[in-house]
Every structure is written in C-alpha cells, then in structure tokens.
C-alpha cells in the first residue's frame, strides 16, 4: 500500500521532469528560429528574456496574486482562531508563520503565495471559514503550508511565466518568419521552415497543458504532505469533499491565479468530463480524496 513518503517522492520526480520539458521547449523554439533566420543571437535573446521574466516574477508574484483576488490582511482580533491555527501548524512544520489574508467571497477556497518561506502568504475566503469545521480547516491550512515548505509557489510562478513567455515568443517569431522571409537562411530547407512554423503554433498549447499538469501534480503532493503534517488525512479528505460539492465560481476567479487555489476557483468539473479535467488546473476531487484514503500515516 502506498505511503505518504512514496507519494511525495513520485510527485517531486514527475514535477521536475515536466519543468525540464518547459526548458526544452524554450531552447527548441529559440534554436529553430535561429536556424530558420540564420541568426544565432536569437537563441541567446530568447533565453535572456526568459531569465529576466523569471526574476521579475520571483520578486512580485505574491503582490500580484493578493491584489488580483482582493485579499485583505486578516485582523488578529477578529480572526484570532485562524491566526492561532496557522501559527500552530507553522511551528509543527518548522516554518515561520505566514502572513494571513482574508478574501470576502462565499465560495470556499484558499491559496498560498510568496517567493519563499520567509515571504509567504496564506489567504482564505470567508466562505471557507463558514463551512469548515476545525479538523477540515486544519487540513486546508496544512495543505497550503505544504505548498510553502515545498517551494511549490515558486515552481508554479516559473511555470506561469514560461507559459506566457513561450506564447509571446512564439507569436513574435511567427510574425518574424512571415515578415522576414528574405532573411531566411538559404541552407534551411522547406521542411525546416514548415517544422519551425508548426512548432511555434503548437508550442503555446503544449506549454499550457504542461503548466496544468504541473499544477495538478503539485496538488497531489500538497495533499500528501498536508495529511502528514496533521497526522489526520480524514480531515483534509472531508474538506476536499465539501470544496468539490460547491460548484459556483469565485467572484474574482482568474486563469492567472487559478492554479494557486486548493480547488478550482471556477467551480468543480464532474469527474467524468475528461476534456474539462484535461484543461483544469486541479485534479478531480474524487481522485484526491481516494489518494488520501489509501495512504498510511
């Protein structure tokens, strides 16, 4: 029978494989266009732009995420129990207490953000506080603290930036290939030209699917680590079932920040809708609950 430790190891390995594929896509796009246009500097420009974009996202991702959902600092008097719960679990996890924020929204949900454990933020909706009992809320907070401890938020920030970068890069190079046809390297045959153009069209789609796959893997890993932290996987499993039964979207749901939340902010998709689940930032709730119930603590 699977344990929390084996599940964690598998998900870490799969996630880094997917991140490696991202880098390969960037390199291949830059290389392909440099060959097509006979200009090796294009590859270096592409990689340099990706590096600058990642550095910017590293420093400002938490501020952007908080502002985009309208989160406000949780008053320590009004939300005393929430602060106490976060602090106790952070101590157990060996982490500094994250800043705690509240989102005024009836949809139950929560997310974590921040570039590292010393700049972490945990935000919960008022809907989450109203429907969860203590053990369920503890499971949700433990899940989010696992994202902080595993540096998941930084990984997902890089993934988001790379998706946007690949889309912009592919669009720019596609226009260059049309408008700069006279600059094309004469040694590059027609098959190379077709392959490069096709790759630039398909690359953004592939990158988006990879980003979604990374997000889904990180949710399984955070579920496993969260259950390990509380030593009570039933609490998180029960919380996930409540989250999955709420189908209405959040008021300020956004594709930009959807992957940060513990459940899909656009509402749950039925487990049987394969195509919807493929393009979802989260794995189906029944699969997550099943993974938790099958593990030994």
Each domain of the chain, given as residue ranges in start order, spans 4-293
Active site residue 219: no
Strand ordering across the sheet containing 99-103 = 72-73, 99-103, 121-125, 110-113
* pTM, two decimal places: 0.76
pLDDT by residue for the chain (297 residues), tens digit each? 454 445 455 556 655 766 677 777 777 777 777 777 777 787 787 777 767 766 776 677 788 889 889 999 999 999 999 999 999 999 999 999 999 999 999 999 999 988 788 989 999 999 999 999 999 999 999 999 998 888 777 666 666 666 666 667 666 666 665 555 545 544 555 655 566 566 666 666 666 666 666 667 788 889 999 999 999 999 999 999 999 999 889 998 877 678 889 998 987 654 445 555 555 678 889 999 999 988 776
Give me the catalytic one of 136, 144, 219, 273.
144
């Amino acid at each position: 029978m699977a344990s929390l430790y084996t599940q964690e190891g598998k998900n870490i390995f799969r996630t880094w494989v997917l991140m490696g594929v991202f880098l390969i896509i960037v390199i291949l796009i830059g290389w392909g266009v440099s060959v097509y246009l006979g200009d090796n500097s294009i590859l270096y420009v592409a990689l340099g732009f990706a590096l600058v974009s990642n550095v910017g996202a590293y420093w400002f991702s938490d501020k952007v995420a908080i502002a985009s959902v309208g989160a406000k600092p949780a008053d320590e008097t009004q939300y005393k129990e929430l602060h106490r719960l976060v602090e106790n679990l952070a101590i157990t996890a060996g982490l500094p207490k994250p800043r705690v924020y509240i989102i005024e929204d009836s949809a139950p949900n929560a997310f974590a953000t921040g570039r590292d454990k010393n700049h972490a933020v945990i935000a919960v909706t008022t809907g989450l506080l109203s429907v969860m009992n203590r053990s369920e809320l503890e499971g949700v907070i433990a899940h989010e603290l696992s994202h902080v401890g595993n540096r998941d938020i930084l990984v997902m920030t890089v993934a988001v930036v790379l998706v946007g970068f690949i889309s912009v890069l592919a669009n720019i190079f596609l226009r260059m290939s049309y408008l700069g046809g006279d600059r094309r390297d004469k040694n590059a045959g027609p098959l190379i030209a077709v392959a490069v153009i096709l790759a630039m069209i398909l690359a953004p789609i592939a990158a988006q699917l990879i980003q979604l796959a990374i997000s889904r893997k990180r949710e399984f890993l955070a579920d496993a680590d969260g259950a390990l932290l509380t030593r009570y996987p039933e609490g998180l499993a029960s919380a996930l079932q409540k989250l999955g039964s709420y189908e209405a979207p959040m008021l300020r749901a956004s594709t930009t920040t959807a992957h940060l939340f513990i459940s899909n902010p656009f509402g749950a998709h039925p487990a049987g809708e394969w195509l919807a689940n493929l393009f979802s930032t989260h794995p189906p709730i029944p699969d997550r609950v099943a993974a938790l119930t099958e593990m030994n603590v």
